Amino acid sequence: MVLVVLLGGAAATARANPIDAFGFGSRAAALGGAATATTDDAAANYYNPAGLVRGRSLLLEAGYRYAQPMLRMNGHDVGVDEARGFVVGLVAPGAMGPFRFAFGVALALPDQRLVRIRSTAFEAPRFVYYDNRPQRMFLAANLAIQIVPGLYLGGGVTFLSRTQGEVGIKGRVDATVPEDSSLVTKIDVGLFAVRYPQAGLLWDISRRVSVAVSYRHSFTLELDQQFRIDGDVGKEGLEPIVKNGYFTTHARVSDHFQPWQLTVGGVLRLPRRVAISADVTYARWSEYPAAKLLTIRLDIPPFNDRVHLPAPRAYPAPNFHDIVIPRIGAEWRAREGNRLSVDVRAGYSYEPTPAPEQKGESNLADCDKHTFAAGAGIEFAHLGEILPGSLSIDAHLAATWLPSRSNHKNDPTDPIGDFTADGVVLQGGLTLRSRF
């Protein structure tokens, strides 16, 4: 049974991080993610770190997000887990004479687990985009500076969690009555971080027009797990059939992948307190890695010459392709007052699937993704000595529609056969933001 699990682990698939899937913060999510040139809050730690230095007040942000995938293959729900958790952010600006700078931190923390690894056999059908991808802790730290008034530069590092460890079993294995085995188990698993850089540039050309560019580097999270059994095989009190034998497997496989992404964005502020933002992202999915191999070693004297382990399997290349993702958002300040302001937002994004039609052995189900989002925000200002700055409450709802996509196999005897994939992902969140 353990061998089956580990063999499945050798074919674990790669996905990107949870913020790529659902965004950070309710304001940016309500704009459909078109926030590269508009954000100046904690969400800038993800969308464009240059925006951190736009504001002049200390900012604290906390929120909660929830996403429920309802994804189907051949009309049947595949049971992809919900993704929910807390988001926390900080922006701390400073100045040294005319030189302005800001430091920012953002954290997304799942409330069910810090990390989830679920490996399946190479041929098993699964939604590659939503399986392990949302079940991750996300942490970003950035620094931004003002080059000249209206021109900002920022960059930093993002951390994602991965696991590495070993499961060891020692003792005596009773081959005929497994319940009579005498074994001691040792588990040593650690949580480690993978880092990747990001950077951004933001230019407020005028009060009405801003443009920006941001870059997010690629990364691959590897699952590094080892399983080993040491000991004898035989009945207690009798000469063992196998003495001092061992069986070990070592899996180093790609668990998560994020393509490098280059985003160009802008915002146009129209009369009547309306702002239109737009982003275009180029994502290099063609670097999606192939499944890696599993190392198996066995020593069971005197039967070594009778056991022939299969050669490591070579998995086919996934052949993903690069994609371009457009996003557009609109924000209207419906009410502006000294103590109370109200914003209404809406957004849309289109993300074509990078996965080719699954004609061969793999069954990485994926579809194009149309996301429709809406939200609102209320800002309270001048609340007294306890909170001299402002307090904002933002909320958003979004739905990602995955239109039906058919996959036709080249081999009519393929065990999975032709299949269609489609679904909807419902999302929502609430964010509290305070400026001091």
What are the sequence ranges of the domains in the chain? Answer: 2-435
Counting beta carbons within 10 angstroms of the beta carbon of residue 168, is it exposed (0 to 12), middle (13 to 18) or buried (19 or more)?
Answer: middle
The reported pLDDT for the residue numbered 207 is 93
Provide the whole-model pTM.
Answer: 0.83
The reported pLDDT for the residue numbered 80 is 83
The reported pLDDT for the residue numbered 17 is 57
The beta strand positions in 382-418, using DSSP E, are 390-407
Q: How far apart are CA 2 and CA 228, in angstroms?
A: 10
The reported pLDDT for the residue numbered 2 is 37
The reported pLDDT for the residue numbered 342 is 97
Q: For residue 277, what are its two tokens?
A: 């933002």
| Residues of the chain where predicted confidence (pLDDT) is lower than 50 | 1-16
The reported pLDDT for the residue numbered 12 is 40
Helix-, strand-, coil-residue percentages of the chain, each rounded to 5: 10, 55, 35
Q: How far apart are CA 406 and CA 126, in angstroms?
A: 14
The 10 Å Cβ neighbour count of residue 228 is 16
Q: For residue 247, give the nearest of 343, 340, 173 by alpha carbon.
A: 173
Determine the 3-state secondary structure of 287 from DSSP: helix
Counting beta carbons within 10 angstroms of the beta carbon of residue 380, is it exposed (0 to 12), middle (13 to 18) or buried (19 or more)?
Answer: middle
The reported pLDDT for the residue numbered 324 is 98
* Contact call for residues 131 and 15 (beta carbons, < 8 A): yes
* Contact call for residues 160 and 107 (beta carbons, < 8 A): no
- Over residues 10-57, the pLDDT tens digits come to 344 444 456 778 889 999 999 999 999 999 999 999 999 999 999 889
Q: How far apart are CA 132 and CA 21, in angstroms?
A: 11
237 DSSP assignment: T
**Helix or strand (DSSP H, E) at 225:** strand 219-233
* Contact call for residues 202 and 37 (beta carbons, < 8 A): yes
* Contact call for residues 419 and 407 (beta carbons, < 8 A): yes
CATH class of 2-435: mainly beta
The reported pLDDT for the residue numbered 121 is 66
